[in-house]
Amino acid sequence: MPEFDRHIFVCTNQREAGAARPSCSPDGKGKLHSLLKDKVKAAKLPGVLRVNKSGCLEQCEHGPTIVVYPEQVWYGFVQPEDLDEIVEEHLRHGRPVERLRLAPECVNTESCPHRPAEIPRVDPPPC
Amino acid sequence: MNTRNLFSRLFGEKALPAVPREVYVCTNRRDAAAGKPSCNANGTRELLAQLKGKVEAANLPMVKVKPSGCMDHCEHGQTIAVYPEDVWYGFVRVEDLDEIVDKHLRRGRPVERLVLAAECRNTESCPHRS
């Protein structure tokens, strides 16, 4: 199977200190991404998986954020200590980690209760 | 089975359903001296900005355009991946975006002339790999 069996995006967006919305990777190091990448590699999971960096996934109030395709499962508030469970339960056994899932009304909606009322329209700087 | 195969089995020639979609545009930029090309060689992220603007203008609230890091399709850049249907586009130019927005994102019909061939997707045999 040459195509990605699972494609995982880890938000590594960094905003300037004092920005209106929080950052998934405030120090800009993308540590969650590199940790997950290492853990997936070490787990020797079957199939082809890619752990991808992403820019802002627009889930800033839920960060750090991870999304897993093809099942389109969104995780929020992910900490390094949650990654083993995601790797074993979700990526190995196909059972999403329910306690970390974002509620459907929080994903890509204006009605998410975690969002500030006014979100300034400032695109991140070119990389 | 990946989702692209699943979608084609379910929908065949029919249009894909209107589901929440995320569209990833590769914005990776390498040093000029790198051995591989970059999807965002000049660092302006123009393709991303243009697609975002066009999706917004088309009033497609279920479609979200996101920037991605390297998706490992450097030889096919500029690359765009559409989920959940797992449709990948390669060699995308700004002038292709209207067609992607109108045909695929609005009407559910992927733009076949831009879809990456199966033999190009993460295989050693891809003719574009050096």
Q: What is the pLDDT of residues B69-112, one digit of tens each?
A: 999 888 888 999 999 999 999 999 999 999 999 999 999 999 99
Q: Confirm whether A125 is domain-assigned.
A: no
- Alpha-carbon distance B112 to B96, whole Å? 12
Q: Confirm whether B15 is domain-assigned.
A: no
Model ipTM? 0.86
Question: Considering chain A, what percentage of its residues have pLDDT values greater than 70?
Answer: 90
Cβ-defined contact of B64 to A67 (cutoff 8 Å): no
Residue B124 above 80 pLDDT? no
Residues 79-118 on B with a CB inside 8 Å of A are 81, 83-84, 86, 118
Residue predicted with more confidence, A3 or A119: A3
Check which CATH number belongs to the domain holding A32 and give it: 3.40.30.10
Check which CATH number belongs to the domain holding B70 and give it: 3.40.30.10
Residue A122 above 60 pLDDT? no
Expressed as residue numbers, the domain containing B40 is: 20-120
- Alpha-carbon distance A115 to B9, whole Å? 38
- Alpha-carbon distance B79 to B89, whole Å? 6
A7 Rama class: left (phi>0) / alpha (psi -120 to 50) / beta: beta
- pLDDT tens across A25-45, in order? 988 889 999 999 999 999 999
Write out chain A residues lying below 8 Å of B67, CB-based.
54-56, 124
Q: Confirm whether B91 is domain-assigned.
A: yes
Write out chain A residues lying below 8 Å of B84, CB-based.
69-72
Q: Confirm whether B130 is domain-assigned.
A: no
| Residue of chain A nearest B3, judged by CA positions | A70
Expressed as residue numbers, the domain containing A69 is: 6-106
Give me the number of domains chain A comprises.
1
Q: Confirm whether B45 is domain-assigned.
A: yes
Q: Confirm whether B67 is domain-assigned.
A: yes
Give me the number of domains chain B comprises.
1
Q: Which pLDDT does position A1 carry in this prediction?
A: 34
Question: Contact, A52 vs B68, CB < 8 A?
Answer: yes
Q: Which pLDDT does position A115 carry in this prediction?
A: 78
